[in-house]
């Protein structure tokens, strides 16, 4: 049966085949769990020593837990890593898509954390995953030890120039998908298998086009734990400088790094993140 978040059964099968190929190349031993939540079942990849502090990884839009393949070996040496497939995205979790406004995503992540039996967590979120991390941390700051936001959504508006270019490229099939992904990555190199996966998602997956939710100042001010912001100097989706400025105005314990030569998709960032998480 066709899943409504995909353009076809065949497209869904291609994405799942590439997902399995990424798991086959996973650099460390892993296990999988399915956690029931009020928004549907959530798929979680786990690795590392369960006696270590729990590190919850939240990928961005039009992606899944395999996005962390480049850094998971580094993280798993220090943490019990839990990489979730966000609901409504091209992974193995439920296809449900609650509204961005309102409490649903904080409730969903609370259900995941509760279902995993965790009292407190370290959170790392990229792009829309950073938005989810922020949403949860603003409601449950006592449950988050530290948080890392990689090019997070919801802090400043998406650039209109990017939205126009994205709409154009999505009309141009696989060629357009490749051009859009190259544009988003910026000058940094892309692994060919990763690019193939990302292109397939753009072609076969129906991305959300809802109006974005920007956090109010009062919501950001609830985020009281230490936070590391990492952005790409050449991010074409949202200005890293503007994100840093707004976070600094409202988060009391902000650390930040803006990486030269990096675009929106930040890869191999464990070298920047681990010193913050482990100190």
Residue 137, domain member (yes or no)? yes
User: 104: exposed, middle or buried (C-beta count within 10 Å: 0-12, 13-18, 19+)?
Assistant: middle
Q: Please give the residue range of the domain that contains residue 41.
A: 9-278
Sign of CA dihedral 84, 92, 236, 195: positive
Pairwise CA distance, residues 147 & 225, whole Å: 7
Residue 61, domain member (yes or no)? yes
Mean pLDDT of 82-95: 97
- CATH number of the domain within which 45 lies: 3.40.50.1820
Pairwise CA distance, residues 63 & 149, whole Å: 16
Which among 238, 218, 61, 57 has a CA at the least distance from the CA of 148?
Answer: 57
Residue 2, domain member (yes or no)? no
Residue 3, domain member (yes or no)? no
The 10s digit of each residue's pLDDT in 204-255 is 999 998 889 999 999 999 999 999 999 999 999 999 999 999 999 999 999 9
Q: What are the Cα distances from residue 93, in Å, to 96, 117, 205, 258?
A: 9, 19, 14, 32
Pairwise CA distance, residues 252 & 264, whole Å: 25
Judged by DSSP in three states, 181 sits in: helix
Estimate the crossing angle of helix 104-115 against helix 128-139, to 10 degrees.
Answer: 80
Domains identified in the chain, total number: 1
Residue 244 contacts residue 238 (beta carbons within 8 Å)? no
Residue 1, domain member (yes or no)? no
Looking at residue 190, its pLDDT comes to 81
**Element (DSSP H or E) covering residue 121:** strand 121-126
Longest dimension (CA), the chain: 49
The 10s digit of each residue's pLDDT in 89-132 is 999 999 999 999 999 999 999 999 999 999 999 999 999 999 99
The 10s digit of each residue's pLDDT in 146-200 is 999 999 999 999 999 999 998 888 888 888 888 888 888 888 888 888 888 999 9
Pairwise CA distance, residues 213 & 42, whole Å: 23
Residue 4, domain member (yes or no)? no
Residue 121, domain member (yes or no)? yes
The tokens describing 17, both together, are 């085949």
Residue 96, domain member (yes or no)? yes
Question: Residue 1: pLDDT above 70?
Answer: no
């Amino acid at each position: 049966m066709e899943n409504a978040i995909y353009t076809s059964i065949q497209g869904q099968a291609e994405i799942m085949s590439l997902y399995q190929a990424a798991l086959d190349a996973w650099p460390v031993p892993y296990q999988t769990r399915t956690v029931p939540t009020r928004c549907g079942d959530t798929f979680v990849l786990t690795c590392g020593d369960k006696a270590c502090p729990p590190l919850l990884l939240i990928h961005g839009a039009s992606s899944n837990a395999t996005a962390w393949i480049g850094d998971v070996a580094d993280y798993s040496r220090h943490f019990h890593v839990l990489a979730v497939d966000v609901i409504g995205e091209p992974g193995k979790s439920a296809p449900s898509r609650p509204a961005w406004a309102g409490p649903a995503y904080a409730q969903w992540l609370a259900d995941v954390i509760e279902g995993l039996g965790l009292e407190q967590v370290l959170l790392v979120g990229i792009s829309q995953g950073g938005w989810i991390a922020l949403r949860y941390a603003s409601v449950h700051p006592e449950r988050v030890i530290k948080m890392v936001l990689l090019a997070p959504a919801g802090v400043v508006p998406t650039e209109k120039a990017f939205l126009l270019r994205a709409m154009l490229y999505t009309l141009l099939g696989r060629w357009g998908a490749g051009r859009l992904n190259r544009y988003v990555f910026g000058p940094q190199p892309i692994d060919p298998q990763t690019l193939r996966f990302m292109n397939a998602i753009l072609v076969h997956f129906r991305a959300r086009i809802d109006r974005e939710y920007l956090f109010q100042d009062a919501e950001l001010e609830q985020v009281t734990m230490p936070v590391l912001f990492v952005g790409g100097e050449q991010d074409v989706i949202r200005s890293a400088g503007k994100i840093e400025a707004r976070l600094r105005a409202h988060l009391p314990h902000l650390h930040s790094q803006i990486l030269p030569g990096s675009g929106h998709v930040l890869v191999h960032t464990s070298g920047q993140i681990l010193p913050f998480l482990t100190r």
